[in-house]
Structure 1
Amino acid sequence: MKYAKWTILTLLALIVFGFFHYTLPQHDIVRIVNTYQERQDLDDWTRIFWATPDDQATGLINRDVQFIQAVDADGDPRVYRNEDTGWHWPPYFKFDTANLQTEAEDLKSTSAAPQWVSVTHYGWRNVYFSTFPNAVGIKPVAGPDVTIIPWVNIVILTFLAFILFMLRRMWLQFRERMIDPVIEDVEEAWDSVDAQADQATAKARGIWGRFRAWLGTWKSKPRR
C-alpha cells in the first residue's frame, strides 16, 4: 500500500506539473528569421494541441495556420504557431493573430545584424507529434542575455499556494472539530465494550469455578 500511495501521488504531481508547464506563459529570447502560413491537418488526437478559434467550426479537419520561425542565442531553431485563443482555454484572450504576425514580420533580422526579441508563448514543441507552442506576444529586447522575470507565473502560483494552504487549514480544523471527536467516541465505546466483555468473561469463569466446587462437595469421600 505504501508504494501504491507514493506512485499515485507521484503521478498526480506529474500531471499537475505538466498542466501548469503547458498552460503558463514562458519567454524565449530569440531572433526571428521568417514567418509563413501552412495548412495543417487536424483529424487526429493531436488536435488538442491546436487552438479552437471562435470564428472557425470545430468540425474542420484542416485549416491554414500562421507560423513564426526563430533562432536562439545558441543557434537552436524555435518554431511557434500563431493562433487566436479567443474565449477558449488557456485564457489568454488572444484575438490579434494578424497583428502579431505583422510585428514578427517587421522584426525579422539576420545573424550579421540581429534584432533580439522576447517571444511570450505557451505550449510545447514536439517534432514527433508536430506540435508547436503558441506565441501570444513579441517584444524587442536589448540582447540575448536579457532576463525576463515571469511575474504572471509568480503571482498565479503564489495565489494557488495560498489557496492550497487555506484549504489545508480548513481541512485540519474540520477534522479536529468534527472527525477526531467521533473517532475518539468510537474508540471509547469500543474500549468500554471490550472492558465489559472482559468482565463478563471473568464473571463467567467465577460462576463456573463455584459450580465446579459445588459439584465437588457431592463426591463421595473414600471409605476407611
Structure 2
Amino acid sequence: MRVLRIALWVLVALFAVAFVGFLNYYLPSTEVVRVTGTDVKRMDAKKVDPAGVERTRDVRFISAMAFDGDQPITFRNEDTGWGFPFYFKFDSGDVTTRVQNILASDPQAHVAVTYYGWRVEIFDLYPNAVSLYRVDADYTPIPYTTILVLLLLAALAIFLFLRIRRWRASRY
C-alpha cells in the first residue's frame, strides 16, 4: 500500500510539473527589447500533403537585443489563426511592418514584445511574437492575462478541493 501511495504522489508531481510547463509555454509574456531587424525564412514542413508534395512555408522572424544584458533574442512572427493556442493572430505582416517602421524612425526605441513559447536552440524553437508596441524607457510590463488565468485556476482548484472533501465526508 505504501508503494502505491508513493507512485500516486509521483504521478501527481509529474502531472503538476507538466501542467506548470504547459502554462509557462502558452501564457503570454512581455519583454522590453531593442529591435534590430526582421527576416523571412523558407521552412520545410515535415508534413506531406495528400498529393505527395512536401509543404513549405515562409516564416517571419524579429531580431532584437535585450536592454538589461545585451543578449540577442529572436522571435518567430507567425499567425496562429483559429487554431491552438487561441491568440487569434492574423496580422503577422502588420507586426513586421510595425517593426520596420520603428527601426526607420528610432533604432534605439524601447519596444515591448508580447509573446508565448520558449527559445530552445537545440530544437530550433523560437517564441512567437503576438504583438509589439513602442514604450517608454521606464516601462514595466504587468502580466494581467497570466494573473487572471492563474487566479481562475486557483479558484477552480479550491472549488474542486472543497467538493471532493464534502463528497468524502458524506461517504463516511
The two structures share one fold, judged by TM-score above 0.5: yes
Q: How many residues align?
A: 163
- Give aligned-pair identity as a percent: 36
Provide the secondary structure at the position in 1 that maps to 2:43: strand
The answer for the alignment partner of 2:139 in structure 1 is 146
Structure 2 residue 102 is the aligned partner of structure 1 residue 102: no
Match for residue 130 of structure 1 among 124, 132, 135: 124
Larger helix percent: 1
Aligned amino acid, residue 42 of structure 1: A
Which amino acid in structure 2 is aligned with residue 16 of structure 1?
F
Match of 2:99, SS? helix
Alignment of 1:1-224 (within 5 A): 1=3, 2-43=5-46, 61-73=55-67, 74-108=69-103, 114-143=108-137, 145-177=138-170, 179-180=171-172
Q: Deviations over 1:52-99 (max 9, x none)?
A: xxxxxxx85321101100000111001011111111111111111111
Q: Quick one: distance in 1 between partners of 2:131 and 2:18?
A: 27
Contact 1:32 1:109 in 2 (8 A): no
| Contact 2:34 2:107 (8 Å CA) reproduced | no
Cα offset for 1:135? 0.3
In structure 1, the residue corresponding to 2:126 is in which secondary structure?
coil
Aligned partners of 2:124 and 2:103: how far apart in 1?
24
Could you say if the C-alpha distance between residues 167 and 6 of structure 1 is closer, same or farther in structure 2, counting changes exceeding 3 Å?
closer
CA distance in structure 2 between the aligned counterparts of 1:78 and 1:108, rounded to whole angstroms: 16
Structure number with the higher strand fraction is 2
**RMSD of aligned residue pairs (Cα, Å):** 2.0
Q: TM-score, normalised by structure 2?
A: 0.87
Contact conserved, 1:32 with 1:71, CA < 8 A, in 2? yes
Cα distance, 1:175–1:6 mapped onto 2, change above 3 Å: closer
